[in-house]
Structures are given as C-alpha cells and as structure tokens.
Amino acid sequence: MNIIDLIIKKRDNNELSTEDINFFIESVCRNAVPDYQISAMLMAMCINSLSKRETADLTRAMTSSGGIMELDEIEGFKADKHSTGGVSDSTTLIVAPLCASLGLPIIKMSGRGLGHTGGTLDKLEAIPGFNVHISKEKAIEQAKKHGIVIMSQSDELAPADKYLYAVRDVTGTVDSMPLIASSIMSKKLACGSDGIVLDIKCGRGAFMKDLDSAEELANEMIGLGRSLGKKMSALITNMDEPLGMNIGNSLEVIEAIEVLKGNSRGALRDVSIAIGSEMLVMGGIAKDSAEASDMLKRNIRNNKGLYKFAELISLQGGNPAVIDNYSLFPQRVSKSAVISEKDGYISEIDALCIGRAAAATGAGRQKKDAAIDYGAGIMLKKRTGDKVTKGEILARIFAENSEMCAEAAEIIKSGIKISDEKSAEKPLIYKVIR
C-alpha cells in the first residue's frame, strides 16, 4: 500500500477502506509519512469529507494507536466533558473542580489551542509550575485519591490524534466535521470515562457556524460514543461572541477563579453550570438538572469548588497561591484600549475577530510548535446588548509591545458593531441532546 495512492484516492473523492485508514494512521505513528503528505491527506479529507463508516474507522484507528486508560479501580461513574472549541471558553477550569467537589470523579484529557480558539492545557500552564504531563499510572492514582485530573495527551494515549491535531492547526484543516468528531472521540474513548458531555459551539467563533451543522456534529459524536458503550449527551451553545470577558491564558484562568469565588456572573458561569448539571445527572449524583444546578451553585457559595481547584493546582505542581494573588501570573507591561467612537448599543462582538485579535497579542500560536505568551490577551468591558457612550472603553489589550497592541486593536474594532437600537438577545444554549 502506498500513501501517495491513498492521497490520490481521497483527492478524487473515493471512499477509503478500513485497511486504507489503518495504514495511514499506522504510518503516522511510525513517522513513515512526512508532514507534507499528512497535510495533503488531511486536506483531501477536509475538502471531500468522510462517510460515517470512514469517520468511525478513523476514530477507532486513532483510539487504538496507543493504550486505553483502564479506570475500573476508581470507584463510581467517571465523567468527562469536551468543548469543540471557542473563544474565552474556560468552562473546564470551572466545571471539573465543581463536579469533583460533589463526588463525581473527573479524568480529563485536554488539548492545546487550535486555530483561533484557546486550549485548556495552555491556560493551565499559565499557572506557575503546573504540570499537564501526567502518566496513566499517576493519573489513575490521583483520581482514586482526589477525584480530579486534567492532563495532556501522553504518547501512550491516542498518539496519532496528538500529531494530526497539531498538523491540522497550521494547515487550514481544522474546520472539518469528521476530523473534529474523530479527534475528540478518539481522545475521549482512550481516556476510559463512562460518560461524556459535549459542548458543541455554534456561531461565528465556532467551527460549526449554524445550528444544523452543530446538531449534525453532536449526533455524529453521540453515535460514535454510544456505539462503544459510553453514555453521551450534548449541549449546543452560542459562540457568536466570546463566552467570557477575558481572552488569553492567564486572563482566562483568573476569570475562572472569579467564577469559582462567586464574584463573576454571566455567560461563562451559566454555561459551566449547564454542562456540570448534565455531568452530575449522567453520573447519578443528582436526580435532575434543577437539583444538579442547585448543588453546583451551593459549592460556589461555600468555596468547595474553589478549594478543589486549588487542590488540583497543588497536586500537579502548580502554585495554589495564584488563587488569591493574581500578580503571580505572567504579566504584560504594554497595554492599550479600544474606545467607543459613538453612543449606542453593542449589536455584535464577533468571536472570530476577538479570537484572531488575541492571537495577534501572542496569546495564540501561528505554528504548531510556536511558543505562546501566557500574559497576553484581551479584557472585554462590554457584551452584546450593553449601552455604550462615546469615549467609553470597550476592551483592554495586553501584549509584549505597542505594535502588537495596535494590530490587535484594529482587529477588535472590525469585530465590534454599535447600533442606535438594542438588538434582540440570542439564546445562550440552543439545544440539549440526550
């Protein structure tokens, strides 16, 4: 079998066999295929898509490219969650400790920034000393004793996806429903959890731009999970504007901490509560969403979720003092602001533009191995529907130098629209699929 023949086969919109897909993934894992041929295959898959059978075969091949984490020795229902990627989406940093503080074991394998979206691992690594590189053995032991682990993909778990994920990020092949579904589900299946709650982002700042495609992706992943014995559900959530107010690694961790302290309300908190509620009901901790929501809110008020996050930081080598001392996070001296040029109402904050602006500050990566600036980013001061006056600050920018600030400011300006009248409010959660 020849990789060039397979590229041509998919380029010409022919269906790859199970053997073809297995050969491709095995070749990737053996480093027998150069980047440019992997890129060509991914582009052919992206343009011509994959059938349901091809997607299932790709998912199985990537899952079995490494070991499977066996979690039988951890008592109780093991839950996981995954977001398809958005802007200012730090829900994992809120949901994981809150659910763990209520007795639901969380073993979460997360990823890095992809395209214009942020990555949970990058955010956690903004915490001084935090180690995301946890072995399977240590992860299981930590979960047994403390009920929470957030880790990177080790070489042992879905290694094929780890490599393809990085290549997709820099080759324009992120936006593909089958590739997104197989990437997410291979990681989730390798992690061995009993059930998975999916957060499918929908809108300008998401890979799925409309509700129909978001629902299609949700059903694709739910089907993949159920076919392999996993409990599955999905929320389709709004990503027309950033979920939180902070965009950038340190800034997003700080905002998540503020939610756990009970100091921050809004879309980020609300979506986190909704995801956590699904997980608690799925895991049998709560009888329904209303009870689960009350439990989560209670553990915000009594700080048990915050304490669990501090415990996670300490367990994985980080400095838990960041909880109360934000100056310990990386800081940026160069700052600027975007000012409103007119009176009116915010009618649009384009999440894609804001994500690109954050990347321009250095908070995101342009190449797969590029370093990121943990202190860089954007703080939004307004949300869609808010009233503004001329001269009011719409956003603050943090970057290494004034040139980067200026570039980010221009992108932000193009993404914020101000109208004379207040626009109709869009739902935050479009649909829940169980």
The catalytic residue positions are 82, 161, 168, 183, 187
Q: What is the DSSP string of 303-339?
A: SHHHHHHHHHHHHTT--GGGGT-GGGS---SEEEEEE
d(CA 232, CA 173): 26
List, in sequence order, every residue forming a beta bridge with 393; answer none if it has no partner: 339
**Spatial CA neighbour of 87 closest among 250, 186, 205:** 205
What does the block give as tokens for 164?
């393809």
Contact 301, 357 (CB under 8 A): no
3-state secondary structure 9-56: HHHCCCCCCHHHHHHHHHHHHCCCCCHHHHHHHHHHHHHHCCCHHHHH
List, in sequence order, every residue forming a beta bridge with 79; answer none if it has no partner: 106, 195
List, in sequence order, every residue forming a beta bridge with 107; answer none if it has no partner: 149
| 391 DSSP 8-state letter | T
**What residues contact 210, with CB distance under 8 A and at least 6 apart?**
202
